[in-house]
């Protein structure tokens, strides 16, 4: 696999949205846009009862924002546009009337933590350590922060946001509410995710949609909030500190 992609498939009411990028499943703007569209499409399809979110490959679940694209941002407007991609994906998952089940096979960095946190139920392998790395490159987890805080709580979210250079292991993430279950291998994870999705697909879709509304109460303002947060990141990515940091990674 060499080309980035986002695929949406439907198998007997179980939709799978799979994304891939050759750089540890990082997220350039085109992948973010396709992700948001695929999740929205799945939510609007009456033939779909539940959505599985996963990434391709065997190792990293998601490396977060594409550093190559961050280095190309040359204005606050361009920065806003890029980080709005993360806002759109999170809001697509939030407003999707179907439960979104996360399948996390490996390490999760930056914006990827926000994707995992925005799922309704997330299962992972023991290798799925997380790192909220934004502060270390001079930005901050502004866009994904509300989703991460909603799932982990303010204390745990602030801990990993401030300690931006450290990975926190999958068991820590499970204990703090990001993951519901952990598995020793990807094969065991896949079996459990499919079994769980099949179970959900037999439930009343209307009941699940109403439950999801309740679970996400208090987030109705996120369409505006996350764009405001994207503007903050869009400005900070132009700072001298961030530019020098990105050049070192580049």
Residue 12's pLDDT band (cuts 50, 70, 90): very high
Q: DSSP string covering 31-61, please?
A: HHHHHHHHHHHHHH-TT--EEEEEESSSS-S
Q: Residue 191 falls within a domain, yes or no?
A: no
Q: Residue 249 falls within a domain, yes or no?
A: no
Only one residue has tokens 């924002």, namely 65
Q: Residue 64 falls within a domain, yes or no?
A: yes
SS3 112: helix
16 burial via Cβ count (<10 Å: 0-12, 13-18, 19+): buried
Q: Into how many domains does the chain fold?
A: 1
Rounded Cα–Cα distance for residues 247 and 250 (Å)? 5
Q: Look up residue 83 and give its two tokens.
A: 């980080």
pLDDT recorded at residue 248 = 84
Cβ(136)–Cβ(167) below 8 Å = no
- Other beta carbons within 10 angstroms of residue 147's beta carbon come to 28
Q: Residue 17 falls within a domain, yes or no?
A: yes
Q: Residue 40 falls within a domain, yes or no?
A: yes
Q: Residue 14 falls within a domain, yes or no?
A: yes
Q: Output the domain CATH number for residue 116.
A: 3.90.226.10
Task: Name the average pLDDT for the chain.
Answer: 96
pLDDT recorded at residue 182 = 98
pLDDT recorded at residue 247 = 85
Q: Residue 223 falls within a domain, yes or no?
A: no
Q: Look up residue 193 and give its two tokens.
A: 């995710």
> In degrees to the nearest 10, what's the CA dihedral of 51, 57, 169, 146?
-40
Q: Taking 90 as the threshold, does the pLDDT of residue 27 lie above it?
A: yes
Q: DSSP string covering 158-226, please?
A: HHHHHSTT--B-HHHHHHTTS-SEEESSHHHHHHHHHHHHHHHHTS-HHHHHHHHHHHTTT-TTHHHHH
Residue 250's pLDDT band (cuts 50, 70, 90): low
- Mean pLDDT computed over 182-206: 98
Q: Residue 244 falls within a domain, yes or no?
A: no
Expressed as residue numbers, the domain containing 40 is: 5-186
Q: Taking 60 as the threshold, does the pLDDT of residue 1 lie above it?
A: no
Rounded Cα–Cα distance for residues 231 and 128 (Å)? 30
pLDDT in tens, 46-72: 999 999 999 999 899 999 999 889 999
pLDDT recorded at residue 183 = 98
């Amino acid at each position: 696999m060499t080309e980035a992609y986002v695929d949406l498939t439907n198998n007997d009411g179980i939709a799978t949205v799979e994304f891939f990028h050759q750089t540890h499943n990082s997220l350039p703007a085109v992948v973010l846009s396709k992700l948001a569209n695929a999740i929205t499409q799945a939510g609007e399809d009456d033939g779909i009862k539940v959505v599985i979110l996963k990434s391709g490959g065997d190792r990293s679940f998601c490396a977060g924002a594409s550093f190559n694209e961050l280095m190309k941002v040359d204005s606050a407007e361009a920065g806003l546009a890029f980080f709005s991609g993360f806002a759109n994906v999170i809001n697509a998952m939030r407003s999707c009337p179907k439960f979104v089940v996360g399948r996390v096979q490996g390490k999760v960095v930056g914006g990827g933590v926000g994707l995992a946190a925005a799922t309704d139920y997330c299962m992972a392998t023991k290798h799925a350590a997380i790192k909220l790395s934004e502060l270390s490159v001079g930005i901050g987890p502004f866009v994904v922060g509300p989703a991460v805080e909603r799932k982990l709580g303010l204390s745990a979210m602030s801990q990993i946001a401030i300690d931006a250079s450290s990975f926190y292991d999958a068991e820590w993430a499970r204990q703090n509410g990001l993951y519901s279950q952990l598995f020793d291998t990807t094969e065991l994870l896949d079996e459990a995710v499919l079994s769980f999705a099949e179970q959900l697909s037999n439930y009343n879709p209307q009941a699940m949609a109403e439950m999801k509304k309740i679970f996400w109460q208090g987030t109705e303002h996120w369409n505006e909030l996350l764009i405001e947060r994207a503007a903050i990141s869009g400005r900070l990515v132009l700072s001298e500190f961030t530019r020098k940091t990105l050049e070192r990674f580049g």
